[in-house]
């Protein structure tokens, strides 16, 4: 049995031959082994990006209204424990070790193997059950239809958006990927999916008699270096999280909460919602870590486009410091990003999947590009009056936040 977090994580990260086989057969067996530990209401969120931000808006509003809320996310930015939370507290090391030991023992008894993410999913369910949460907000890992979280009954399904990511698993067209994410839908869906995909989503939901809500128009949007303000329906919203995409994420949260209030007995006022949205914070999402220095978790093309959109709103010189994993489509991301900045610096960090900075540098066509192999040396290059943003990988920005 395990005594420390390091021992738990070492076991969790062990390679398992079956992990790339995506289906729900193992999770369905596991739910039987653990007596179907879903005694709470679930909100299920899928999407290529913005899942965590949308989740955090919903969570904050529910907590403001007096509910106890569990959340399950991936990946993490600060510490591993943030994957599983109760209200605003990460699961403790002691509790996490307890649940991992319980799971391992039961799996051995049942002669059942689970993947890394399946084990975490079960740990979250057991924790939420013991904490007696009112609501659990569950984020998918990859896709939706065959994701291990898709064994839950849900109050509402939410899809933030669909972009080209995880193609090796989800498909090579936007419609194939959308269909996989739509696999979390049962009877209702709230989404801010792109206009291009609306006909596809409408047809999918009509055939299945799904109650469908699209995000309405957003008005009076104003973005600064410290806040995002806008109007949505009767809501006059102010956010501390930055960027046009956050207005859509917050509006998605508003529609979700309105739906639950109208259809599922949620007791929450508009004031609870507005206060919760304003208080929402999520690490690594255009987060200010120093004067004019930000980190952003943009690690796919859609995320880069959102970052670029924000940078266009800022009237000062802009520097981006970029590093990413080698399995990402970084040529397209770099090509997109460098059109919106005055300077771009390529660097690297010590991790097996990390791309070499020289390879990133070679891809760029920017007139003012630089190569700094050790990311720690980039701190000396920050120009005080420039807006500087570190981006490209959640793992990378996690390292930056620790400095």
Identify which has the larger pLDDT, 5 or 19.
5
Q: By the 8 A CB rule, do 215 and 252 touch?
A: yes
Evaluate if residue 164 carries a pLDDT over 80: no
Query: What is the CATH code for 5-279?
Result: 3.40.1190.10
Tell me which residue of 207, 192, 204, 203 sits closest to 162, measured CA to CA. 192
Lowest mean pLDDT among 32-36, 45-49, 123-127: 45-49
Joined tokens for residue 358: 């020289």
Joined tokens for residue 83: 């994957």
Evaluate if residue 20 carries a pLDDT over 70: no
Joined tokens for residue 18: 């079956």
Question: What pLDDT score does 19 carry?
Answer: 65
Distances (CA, A) of 311 to 37, 242, 299: 44, 10, 16
- With cut-offs at 50, 70 and 90, classify the pLDDT of residue 74: confident
Q: For residues 277 and 61, what is the distance between their CA atoms, to the nearest angstrom?
A: 6
195: Cβ contacts below 8 Å, ≥ 6 apart? none
Identify which has the larger pLDDT, 298 or 138.
138
Tell me which residue of 63, 65, 44, 64 sits closest to 54, measured CA to CA. 44
Omega into 75 within 30° of 0, i.e. cis? yes
Q: For residues 81 and 257, what is the distance between their CA atoms, to the nearest angstrom?
A: 26
- With cut-offs at 50, 70 and 90, classify the pLDDT of residue 357: very high
Question: What pLDDT score does 62 carry?
Answer: 98
Question: What pLDDT score does 22 carry?
Answer: 76
Distances (CA, A) of 242 to 245, 252, 294, 311, 349: 8, 16, 11, 10, 26
Question: What pLDDT score does 402 carry?
Answer: 83
Q: Which residue has the tokens 């067996």?
A: 29
Structure letter (DSSP) for residue 186: S
* Tens of pLDDT, residues 168-225: 667 778 899 999 999 999 999 999 988 889 999 999 999 999 999 999 999 999 999 8
Evaluate if residue 149 carries a pLDDT over 90: yes
362: Cβ contacts below 8 Å, ≥ 6 apart? none
Question: What pLDDT score does 82 carry?
Answer: 94
Evaluate if residue 403 carries a pLDDT over 80: no
Joined tokens for residue 49: 């990006």
* Dihedral sign of CA atoms 242, 248, 251, 255 in order: negative
Question: What pLDDT score does 158 carry?
Answer: 97
H/E element, 53:
helix 51-64
Mean pLDDT value across residues 88-111: 97
How many H helices and E strands in the chain? Answer: 14, 17
Q: For residues 166 and 220, what is the distance between their CA atoms, to the nearest angstrom?
A: 35
- With cut-offs at 50, 70 and 90, classify the pLDDT of residue 166: low
pTM value is 0.89
Over the range 41-50, which residues count as b (16 or more CB within 10 Å of their CB) and which as e? bbbbbbbbbb
**Residue 346 CB coordination number (10 Å):** 30
Q: For residues 174 and 163, what is the distance between their CA atoms, to the nearest angstrom?
A: 7
Q: Which residue has the tokens 């059942």?
A: 112
Distance of CA 346 to the CA centre of its chain: 25
Question: What beta strand segments (E) does 269-356 contain?
Answer: 287-290, 293-295, 318-322, 343-348
Question: What pLDDT score does 282 carry?
Answer: 83
Same fold, 5-279 and 287-401: no
Question: What pLDDT score does 85 carry?
Answer: 97
Q: By the 8 A CB rule, do 357 and 372 touch?
A: yes
Joined tokens for residue 123: 């740990």
Q: By the 8 A CB rule, do 310 and 243 touch?
A: yes
Query: Which sequence spans correspond to the domains of the chain?
Result: 5-279, 287-401
Question: What pLDDT score does 277 carry?
Answer: 98
Q: For residues 253 and 159, what is the distance between their CA atoms, to the nearest angstrom?
A: 11
Q: For residues 66 and 47, what is the distance between their CA atoms, to the nearest angstrom?
A: 27
- In terms of DSSP H, where are the helices of 136-294? 167-170, 174-182, 198-207, 244-263, 270-279
* Tens of pLDDT, residues 215-266: 999 999 999 988 999 999 999 999 999 999 999 999 999 999 999 999 999 9
- With cut-offs at 50, 70 and 90, classify the pLDDT of residue 299: confident
CATH class of 287-401: alpha beta
């Amino acid at each position: 049995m395990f005594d420390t977090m390091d021992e738990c994580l070492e076991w969790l990260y062990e390679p398992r031959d079956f992990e790339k086989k995506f289906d729900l057969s193992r999770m369905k067996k596991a739910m039987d082994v653990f007596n179907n530990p879903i005694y709470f209401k679930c909100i299920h969120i899928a999407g290529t990006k913005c899942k965590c931000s949308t989740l955090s808006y919903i969570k904050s509003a529910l907590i403001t209204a007096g509910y106890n809320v569990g959340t399950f996310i991936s990946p993490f930015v600060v510490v591993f424990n943030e994957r599983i939370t109760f209200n605003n507290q990460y699961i403790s090391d002691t509790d996490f070790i307890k649940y991992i030991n319980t799971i391992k023992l039961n799996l051995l008894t049942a002669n059942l193997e689970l993947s890394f993410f399946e084990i975490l999913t079960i740990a979250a369910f057991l924790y939420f059950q013991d904490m007696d949460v009112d609501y659990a907000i569950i984020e998918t890992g990859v896709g939706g239809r065959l994701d291990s979280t898709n064994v839950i009954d849900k109050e509402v399904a939410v899809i933030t958006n669909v972009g080209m990511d995880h193609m090796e698993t989800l498909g090579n067209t936007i419609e194939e990927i959308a269909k996989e994410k739509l696999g979390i839908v049962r009877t209702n869906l709230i989404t801010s999916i792109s206009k291009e995909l609306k006909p596809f989503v409408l047809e999918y939901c009509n055939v299945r008699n799904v109650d469908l809500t699209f995000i309405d128009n957003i008005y009076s949007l104003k973005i600064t270096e410290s806040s995002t303000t806008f109007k949505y329906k009767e809501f006059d919203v102010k956010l501390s999280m930055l960027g046009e995409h956050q207005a859509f994420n917050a509006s998605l949260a508003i529609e979700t909460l309105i739906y639950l209030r109208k259809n599922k007995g949620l007791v929450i006022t508009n004031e609870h919602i507005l206060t919760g949205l304003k208080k929402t914070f999520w690490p690594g999402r255009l987060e200010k870590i120093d004067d004019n220095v930000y980190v952003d978790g943009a690690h796919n093309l859609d995320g880069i486009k959102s970052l670029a959109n924000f940078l266009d709103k800022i009237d000062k010189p802009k520097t981006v410091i970029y590093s990413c994993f080698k399995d990402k489509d970084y040529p397209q991301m770099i090509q997109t990003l460098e059109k919106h900045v005055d300077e771009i610096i390529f660097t690297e960090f010590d991790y097996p999947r990390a791309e070499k900075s020289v390879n990133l540098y070679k891809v760029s066509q920017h007139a003012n590009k630089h190569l700094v192999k050790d990311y720690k040396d980039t701190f000396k290059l920050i120009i005080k009056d420039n807006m500087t943003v570190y981006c490209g990988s959640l793992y990378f920005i996690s390292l930056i936040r620790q400095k």
